[in-house]
Amino acid sequence: MSVTIQAITKRPASPELAISRAAASTLARAISTDPNYIGCTITEDHQYGDFALDVPAPLALNLAKREKLQGEPGLIAHIEAAISANSYVSVATNDDSHSPPSIRINDERADEPVIQWSAPRAEHLLNCLGIGFSSAKPRSIPAAILKRACLRSTAQLLDSHDVAAVLKVAEYALATGGKCALVNAS
């Protein structure tokens, strides 16, 4: 079991745009063959169709222009909005769900610090910081409390790199969400 620690931030209001199946398929296939993309793609699947997940928006924009998809209503503007939000995009034909093909601005920002640890590692660190935590009961932690706990941590048992990583998440949450920001540990 693993625990993800990340800031809870506001997301774009309308992150999904319906596009033609041809545009979704063309873009997903272009992404799947691009050497700069490291991620999950499926193309020509009989159940799912074509999709590409967590694509850097600048790469999606370059490929959409290379594939001459500028005529697809709203596509370029949608990708540019993802670039402005520093977010990733996912594109899918959605063959399995009977939803229209789409391009979606993902929840995570490209610059958002996210920690993925084993449950025992996360529990140990957070408990040593004085933040009672059990992976069996995931919860949100006030970022200000988490930041204070990291700054006052002097325990020899703690890895300073781990504390620095948690501090980075807390500071990011405070910078983007204000003094009442939360960090999710789940």
Domain residue spans in the chain? Answer: 16-109, 113-185
pTM over 0.85: no
Mean pLDDT (the chain) is 87
Name residues of the chain where pLDDT drops below 70. Answer: 1-3, 10-14, 154-158
* Tens digit of each residue's pLDDT (9 = 90 or more) over 60-74: 999 999 999 999 999
Q: Tell me the three state secondary structure of residue 40.
A: coil
d(CA 9, CA 130): 24
- Burial class for 49, CB neighbours closer than 10 Å (0-12, 13-18, 19+): buried
Helices (runs of H) and strands (runs of E) counted in the chain: 6, 9
